[in-house]
Amino acid sequence: MSFGIKELIVILVIVMLVFGTKKIRNVGTDVGGWIRDFKRALKDGQDAPDDAAKKTDPGRVIEGDSNVSDKENL
């Protein structure tokens, strides 16, 4: 069962009559915004690991001697 061009036009006309062109346009705008935001998030997600690696703190090194007797006093 495949739909031809005539059937698709009839379905489109029925949808436009039921929902109206304004709601259909709003839905299209919303879906376009979601897709744009999703692509932007994917792009930001790919850049994030590189930025995180650059911003990491190298850490600190504490130098000194450790004695067993000092640890027993704790």
| pLDDT on residue 4 | 92
- The C-alpha atoms of residue 71 and residue 66 are separated, in whole angstroms, by 8
Stated pTM of the model: 0.42
| CB neighbour burial string for 17-40, b if at least 16 within 10 angstroms, e if fewer | eeeeeeeeeeeeeeeeeeeeeeee
| pLDDT on residue 48 | 56
pLDDT in tens, 30-45: 999 999 999 999 888 7
In angstroms, the first-to-last Cα distance of the chain is 81
Domain residue spans in the chain? 20-52
Residues of the chain above pLDDT 90, percent: 28
User: How far out from the chain centre does Cα 10 lie?
Assistant: 37
Higher pLDDT, 3 or 72: 3
| pLDDT on residue 59 | 76
